[in-house]
Amino acid sequence: MQILSFAEAATPADLRVQVRGIQEQAWPSESGPDVAVDTPTHDPALRPLSMLLVDEGTVLAALDILFKEIVHAGERLSAGGLSTVVTSKQARGSGYGRQLVTAARERMIAQSLDLGLFTCDRPLQAFYESAGWRVLPGAVLIGGTPRAPFPSDQPGFDKVTMSDFFSPAGRQAQASFHHSRIELYPGEIDKLW
């Protein structure tokens, strides 16, 4: 078993087909699994990095890390966030998702990011905490764009914001993120990451 990492656009086609299949299991789309394998899932401006947990050529779990510089409380910080975290139905409950989410957190640290932050459905909070992430109390991510904001606290959403602060600058800014609205603005494709 190994963890493989690729820029999203450079992920080998056979692995990408498997990832799309697993994503369709979790989040069925209107177009189904027949989307062209080279169609990007994420905005290339967010420099998506795909991480795959693979066993003998079979993808068991996958996720993407998205990257963006943000400005919060007057501080410019480099941020990464998890997106499209998924484990195949057959592999769920084996700890593979946790292993991959933990590796993604370590990858963000190795890339010298100031912080990692993302939203998840409230029932998944304990899962992410078991992989080293922490709830960011009272924080709301504002996705979308400044003209078309997409907040994580909109009606019908039951999201929590998960985070970790890696660098000295990130740790120094940490308190300013508590109970705040964080202007992430990843764009129209990745409304929230």
Lowest average pLDDT, out of 34-43, 102-111, 113-122, goes to: 34-43
SS3 track for the chain: CEEEEEEHHHCCHHHHHHHHHHHHHHCCCCCHHHCCCCCCCCCHHHCCEEEEEEECCEEEEEEEEEEEEEEECCEEEEEEEEEEEEECHHHCCCCHHHHHHHHHHHHHHHCCCCEEEEEEEHHHHHHHHHCCCEECCCCEEEEECCCCEEECCCCCCCEEEEEEECCHHHHHHHHHHCCCEEECCCCCCCCCC
User: What does the pLDDT average to over 23-34?
Assistant: 75
pLDDT at 163 over 90: yes
pLDDT digit string, tens, across residues 171-188: 999 999 999 999 999 999
Q: Is 86 left (phi over 0), alpha (psi -120 to 50) or beta?
A: beta
User: Would you say 51 and 106 are in contact if contact means Cβ atoms under 8 Å apart?
Assistant: no
- Of 127 and 26, more confident: 127
> What is the value of pTM for the model shown?
0.93
pLDDT at 29 over 90: no
pLDDT given at position 38:
67
pLDDT at 35 over 70: no
User: What does the pLDDT average to over 164-175?
Assistant: 97
Lowest average pLDDT, out of 30-44, 67-81, 128-142, goes to: 30-44
pLDDT at 18 over 70: yes
pLDDT given at position 13:
92
User: What does the pLDDT average to over 74-79?
Assistant: 97
